[in-house]
Amino acid sequence: PCLRGRGAPGPSGAERAGRDPRDVDIACFIVSSASPNLSEAEQEARRQIARYGAMPFYQRILKEDGFAREIERIAKAWTADDSAEAARRVSDRMLEALALVGKPKQWQERIKKFQDAGVTLPIVYATYFGTDPKATLLQAVHDGAMSWS
């Protein structure tokens, strides 16, 4: 997770709004890609990350988080209208830092890393893909719920 040290010096947004920072959740949108086929799950997560890496707002954040080289390559591919190449430019390091892949019951430990980095409200965005995207999504939600109950 890329949250350590995030934030500008000086008063936080919560303090500027007259709120106690301890009363404000730190939310993090986490791309997740569930599949028993790890390669397939990683491929979909890379596609999702590449889409975000093509947007200027996220480019700035991801560059600050140490992914400048990857973002330049993703943006170049995206500008050339080559989304497959953009996805290939998502490094293993980016994938590890930004996404949950594979089987949902293995994600608790990874989510804990986000929490250890300061996230108090992890938002797990479940992607859907494959020959039956609806079934993939429903299975991911089911497996996640069953493993965390």
The residue type of 105 is K
Q: Could you read off the pLDDT of 1-10 as tens digits, one per residue?
A: 455 455 544 5
Q: Name the β-bridge partners of 121.
A: 27
Q: Which of 123, 149, 136, 129 is nearest to 26 (CA)?
A: 123
Enclosing H/E stretch for 16 = helix 13-16
Residue 113, C-beta contacts closer than 8 angstroms, at least 6 positions apart: 1
Q: Which of 145, 107, 117 is nearest to 28 (CA)?
A: 117
Whole-prediction pTM: 0.79
Q: Could you read off the pLDDT of 23-82 as tens digits, one per residue?
A: 888 899 899 988 878 898 999 999 999 999 999 999 999 999 999 999 999 999 999 999
Q: Is 33 exposed, middle or buried (0-12, 13-18, 19+ CB in 10 A)?
A: buried
